[in-house]
Structure 1
Amino acid sequence: MRTETVTLNGQPFFLRRWGEETLPKLLMLHGFPEYGGSWSDLATRLEHRFHIIAPDQRGYGQSWAPADVSAYTTSELVKDMAALIGDDPLIVLGHDWGAAVAYGLAMFRPALVQKLIIMNGVHPAPFQRAMAAGGPQTEASQYIHYLRKDGSEDHLAADNYAKLQALFSAKMDMTWLTGPTFDAYLAEWSRPGRLRGMVNWYRASPLQVPQSGQSLPDLPAFDPARLQVRCPHLLIWGSDDTALLPAATERLEDFAPDLTRVEIAGADHWLHHQKPDEVAQAILDWLD
């Protein structure tokens, strides 16, 4: 692995790279509350085939972390990664919130994305429909209200980040987050201003989350033509995820006609840590 800091749209971003630079490029986009180094387990299994680029996204790790919520709109996050990609399209992989940026690139900057891989992440239209329905996904998303509150980052950081750890691991298998791995996460969370930046992704999102037991019956219609993923798309899903449920990807084919779905049994939201061999093989099989 190699590291460097680059300037994107006038701001510093920290990158990790694996694999020879002559290989096809694969951009890996992490989610909450991870960082670019969280891809290590998967990247070491793919570096023989790809030049992997894994940034700390805006607000995370050693990258730029502005304090204002307005700096974390999807359009701004997509601009960061569009600047990183440059003029040569590549394969984009996103997990969790990284999937939001990956979908944004595929939908609004399609010339930059050869193929799209999403791991336990959601396209905004099916996800919003599922959250608005007042069913299981609505209940599973109630934590978003907590994160959007003023000062939530202070509560998450208290007692050596105890509440962040609890949120991270709720009903999930976190046996992989121990020892030096956990110490590395703690170091990234502890950087000044980073936890606020991380939570600002939730605050800036336009997604609407009804209160528990309620629904949102008057959602505006989503235009599949505007929100299309036109490139080949692989969705890899850890079937035991308790944060993102199957309803969050229902009718995804309306927005991604060239879609392949692969389930990873015995894995949940953190599938790239729990089952990196199976995830890597799913990616290689699809690309081959």
Structure 2
Amino acid sequence: MLRHEYADVNGIRLHYVTAGEGKLIMFAHGFPEFWYEWKNQLAEFERDYQAVAPDMRGYNLSSKPTDVDQYQVNYLVEDLRALAEHLGHKKFTLVGHDWGGAVAWAFAIYHPDCLEKLIIINGPHPGVFERELRENPAQQRASQYMLVFRSPKAEQILSADNYAALVDAVLGEGLKQGYFTEEDRKAHIEAWSQPGALTGGLNYYRAARVGPPTSEAAHWRAGDSTASGLSSLTVKVPTLVIWGEKDEALLTGNLEGLDR
């Protein structure tokens, strides 16, 4: 059974959903998602684990700091570490998708001793993603949306017509084919409509300062990204990477060199 809880950790309040008992497996969502993306995984893994899916900071029912700098990766990593500690676990398995995957990579680099296993689903490794943004024209084209997300007009664009752009991007194909339902659509719109939630999610992009090079950003540097502050980008935790090859935003070039 799914239980909704709150934890006051790392200076904020995190909402999370938990099910089951045993070793901890934590699921970190991406943009523009929330804990709900993992509801089926919670139901499956509660058989053998304490399965937990938080609303990441800035999303849905979790705290939404107004300072953009508080969405830098070191804060996001510490949120998850502190939540695991709050739940009474020193080591756990971390699963991350999209932005949650980027945070999970950084977590494994910062705190390898805290992880038993790392599972990444279409979440770019910070060093590899920087390379792709610098050197791969296809990834540069695919990442143009990041420039929109960092703009002051992003909230207006994405919330227009009852979040039509987000509904289409996240749920559109699934609604057509029947594996997403009207209930799913309503749940997402409710999460996006929480005060400050859309800005909170977009602040991940603004804080990371990562994106394709542009004429307006001629001085874009690889260091201004999710890799900032990391002395080494090598992951020393047993890692499984799962990648949907039809992902139009994160291309398969992000897999090249991961085993080095």
Shorter-normalised TM-score: what interval? 0.7 to 0.9
The number of equivalent residue pairs is: 249
The one-letter amino acid paired with 1:11 is I
Q: Which sits farther off after the overlay, 161-170 or 177-186? A: 161-170
Paired residues of 2:42 and 2:52 also in contact (CA < 8 A): no
Secondary structure (helix, strand or coil) at the match of 1:45 reads helix
**Corresponding residue of 1:269:** none
Amino acid at match of 1:97: W
For residues 80-133 of structure 1, the C-alpha deviation after alignment (integer angstroms, 9 at most, x for no partner) is: 111112261100000000011111110011121111000111101111111111
What is residue 15 of structure 2 aligned with on the other side?
14
Structure 1: unaligned runs, 5 residues or longer: 255-288
SS at match of 1:253: coil
Kindly indicate whether the alpha-carbon contact (under 8 Å) linking 1:58 and 1:65 is maintained by their aligned counterparts in 2: yes
Q: Is the 8 A contact 1:118 1:236 kept in 2?
A: yes
State the partner residue of 1:251: 257
Q: Which residue matches 2:186?
A: 183
* Aligned-residue RMSD, C-alpha: 2.5
Deviation at 1:239, TM superposition (A): 2.2
| Amino acid across the alignment from 1:91 | T
Aligned to 1:229: 235
Query: What does residue 81 of structure 2 align with?
Result: 82
CA deviation vs aligned residue, 1:146-166 (integer Å, no higher than 9, x gap): 111013112211110112224
Question: Are the counterparts in 2 of residues 17 and 53 from structure 1 also a CA contact under 8 Å?
Answer: yes
| Contact 1:142–1:211, Cα closer than 8 Å, also in 2 | no
CA offset at residue 173 of structure 1? Answer: 5.1
Identity among equivalent positions (%) equals 36
Amino acid at match of 1:15: Y
Which amino acid in the other structure matches residue 246 of structure 1? T
Pairs within 5 Å for 1:1-288: 1-19=2-20, 21=21, 23-86=22-85, 88-168=90-170, 175=177, 176-211=179-214, 226-254=232-260
Letter in 2 for 1:116: L
TM-score by length of 2: 0.88
Divergent runs of 4+, >6 A: 214-218
Deviations 1:194-235 (A, max 9, x none): 0000100011114241249x9999857x9x971111010000
Q: Which residue identity lines up with residue 180 of structure 1 in the other structure? A: E
Q: Provide the secondary structure at the position in 2 that maps to 1:243.
A: coil
Equivalent position of 1:277 in the other structure: none
Q: CA deviation at 1:5?
A: 1.0
Instruction: Give the Cα separation in 2 of the matches to 1:31 and 1:228.
Output: 22
Task: Report if the CA contact (8 A) 2:146-2:211 is conserved.
Answer: no
Unaligned runs of 5+ residues in structure 2 are none
Whether the aligned pair in 2 keeps the contact of 1:61 and 1:194 (CA below 8 Å) is: yes
- 3-state DSSP of counterpart to 1:44: helix
Say if 1:133 and 1:216, in contact at 8 Å, map to a contact too. Answer: no
Cα distance in 2 between the residues matched to 1:239 and 1:109: 29
